[in-house]
Amino acid sequence: MITGEKLISGCRLCGADTAGEPITDGLLRRCPSCQFVWTASDLPPPEQLYDSAYYETDGYQDYFTSARQRRYESIRRLRWLRSRVRPATLLEAGSAGGYFLRAARDAGIDARGVEVSDAAASFAREQLRVPVRTLRFEDHEQPVPVDVVCAFHVLEHVTDPWRFLAAARAALPPGGWLALEVPNIASAAAHRLGSAWPAIAPEYHRWHFTPASLARLLTDCGFDVVARDTTFSRFYWQAPARLRNVRNLLFADFAASRSLRVTHPGLGDLLRVFARRSGDGRTVDSLQARPRPSQRSIHERKHP
């Protein structure tokens, strides 16, 4: 539900004095200096957006009943994570219905989650029997540092990515790992499909990252980027989904990249990053206090 439009009086990534140039039929704005992209319309707080309807019809098609697909995605993400690090403890930010946590715990990892949606967190606890707290990750205080913080398709949703990453940093020891996956606005599919690219999702996604802008954000927030790549959505599709999407995303991917590989240095529509908490002595409070441009409404646009 879009409740209004906002004008950012400066880029929140580089601090440039700009309202951003409209792109993708005016749905998004892009900083002309650093190319950071944000959604033009204001959004309700996450607690209101991610109710049971989001998981059943609005954001997903029957998320809670598509267990086979969710398990498949989770196993692939866990395999990717363990290709770089073998954690004993793990904290997932935005753990949704808990499928990744279930896969991690089944692999012997002490995995726990934080989820803002009460509907999703309740499902994780009651149906999958995994430990999930219901609150914003930014408000979570981790009593003992964990080896890895994971966030899969979460950073684009949060109100304040800087505060979110400060919380992730606080949950890690120096050298601890952060594993992220977000949509890639610089992908082949995004360029080809424009406003029809499904991952724009302006009703839910506030921020839109490229490999360069995400790396800059992580560096600003006290992380060292160790590895990054992109993958195409079909990496997570089972056979029925591949057939359903062959005319849109699959064609767009191949037409721009001329490759049937599932990974690519920059053209895949999913951006994946491994980063480590730097040991430069910066405190969480100093990272949270970093000045950023303000937002001001240019007009209200109410929708039922």
Q: What is the DSSP string of 249-271?
A: IIHHHHHHH----SEESS-SSEE
Say how far apart CA 96 and CA 21 lie, in whole Å.
33
- The pLDDT value given to residue 9: 59
- The pLDDT value given to residue 139: 96
- The pLDDT value given to residue 242: 52
- Bridge partner residues of 243 (DSSP): none
Residue type, 261: R
- The pLDDT value given to residue 296: 39
Q: Which helix (H) or strand (E) holds 220?
A: helix 211-220
- The pLDDT value given to residue 228: 96
Q: For residue 147, how many other CB atoms are within 10 A of its CB?
A: 18
Say how far apart CA 87 and CA 171 lie, in whole Å.
14
Q: What is the three-state SS of 115-182?
A: ECCHHHHHHHHHHCCCCEEECCHHHCCCCCCCCEEEEECCCCCCCCHHHHHHHHHHCCCCCCEEEEEE
| Intra-chain end-to-end CA distance of the chain, in Å | 8
Q: For residue 203, how many other CB atoms are within 10 A of its CB?
A: 16
Say how far apart CA 199 and CA 277 lie, in whole Å.
28
Angle, CA of 8, 189 and 15, to the nearest 5°: 20
Angle, CA of 166, 168 and 171, to the nearest 5°: 110
Beta strands in the chain (DSSP E): 4-8, 21-23, 28-30, 37-39, 41-42, 89-93, 110-115, 132-134, 148-152, 177-183, 207-208, 223-231, 263-264, 270-277, 295-299
- The pLDDT value given to residue 65: 86
Architecture of domain 45-294: 3-Layer(aba) Sandwich (3.40)
Angle, CA of 83, 88 and 89, to the nearest 5°: 105
pLDDT tens, position by position, 27-63? 999 999 999 999 998 899 999 999 999 998 887 877 8
- The pLDDT value given to residue 294: 43
Say how far apart CA 254 and CA 29 lie, in whole Å.
27
Per-residue pLDDT of the chain (304 residues; tens, 9 = 90+): 344 445 555 799 999 998 899 999 999 999 999 999 999 988 999 999 999 999 988 878 778 888 999 999 999 999 999 999 999 999 999 999 999 999 999 999 999 999 999 999 999 999 999 999 999 999 999 999 999 999 999 999 999 999 999 999 999 999 999 999 999 999 988 998 899 999 999 999 999 999 999 999 999 999 999 999 999 887 787 765 555 555 555 666 666 556 666 778 888 999 999 999 998 655 445 444 444 444 433 333 333 2
- The pLDDT value given to residue 293: 45
Q: Where are the domains of the chain?
A: 45-294
Residue 140's nearest CA partner among 119, 176, 113, 117 is 113
- The pLDDT value given to residue 107: 98
CA–CA distances in Å: residue 91 to residues 66, 100, 107, 112, 169: 23, 11, 15, 5, 12
